[in-house]
Amino acid sequence: FKVSPTNLSKIPTDPVVTGASEGIGRAYAVALAERGLNVVIMSRTKEKLDQLAEEIGEKTGQKVKVIVADFTKDDIYGDIEEQLQDLNVGVLVNNVGALPTFIPCRFLDTKELDTVITKVINCNVKTMMKMCRIVLPGMENRRKGLIVNISSGIVCVPIPLYTLYAASKVFVERFSRGLQAEYKDKGILIQAITPFGVSTRLAGYQKANIVTFMPDDFVKTSLQYLRAGDKTAGSVSHTILGWFLQSIPHKLLHSELAMARMCDFVKKKTQTRIKISTTKVTCSEQPALSLHEVQRAQWELEALRSQRIHPNYSYQLLG
């Protein structure tokens, strides 16, 4: 249930957002800046970060610090800690994440599996723990802080064909809730966000509807649930969807028929969006597209060129 929004202006400045170049991370960076906070944005793509920093500065007048980091790598955290050491980090949004495959596939069918395992663990699991380790001491000393860890709605039930990704998000959820129990008496709020559909690159830029949010809308809604507990879906519709999935017997959800239909559904949706996208970007009579529509079109054309509708296509990294 919604609660009174946390007064973020009372939290020390310099919130840090990972995977901030697009999607949910970008939306959090903008939302925090709009609440009067200077922000630190991090991802691997400097050009996107610089564009976002300029946009935030022009829109809100807040200062933005850019830190370029590839979270699939192992040797980045010393530099990150050094760049953050002079800041009072009062808010951390762990958003960066890697999806092994948009089209569902069996674990052993994942292309370049050993490499993907390492990258997913580094990006989805290790980054969250390392960033918490970096900022928690300062929050504990000040007895004030907020950590938001982006998990996924699929943690509510075991999801075959997305096994590696789902398992990494279960870790995010359980780590966050355990950490909150350890530090709730220190004045630190730690919350796992478990959304379902949000129209980002990892979700193939799905069209917004009653259960699929645009990133800005989802972040605006989820911020209303900051004091709702150590875990929230961030919206009423996603909470209800989670209850519905939990009501389905695992024998049905994990049947060969259900898995085959899920694969067919995602492939057909992908192919349909590619056809629509191709029409949009090639027809000069079409009206100007929004930034989000352009990003979706670019993703779908890239998928077409690289034949990513095949179930073995390579992982995607947000940020």
Active site amino acids = 165
198 CB contacts (<8 Å, ≥6 apart)? 23, 24, 212, 213, 214, 215, 218
Closest alpha carbon to 159 in 262, 45, 296: 262
d(CA 156, CA 210): 20
- Pull the structure tokens for residue 252: 């049905």
E strands within the chain? 16-18, 39-43, 64-68, 91-94, 98-99, 145-150, 188-193, 197-198, 212-213, 231-232, 316-317
Cβ–Cβ < 8 Å for 311, 263: yes
d(CA 51, CA 31): 16
For every residue of 213-249, DSSP letters joined together read E-HHHHHHHHGGGTTS-SEE-SSHHHHHHHHHHHHS-
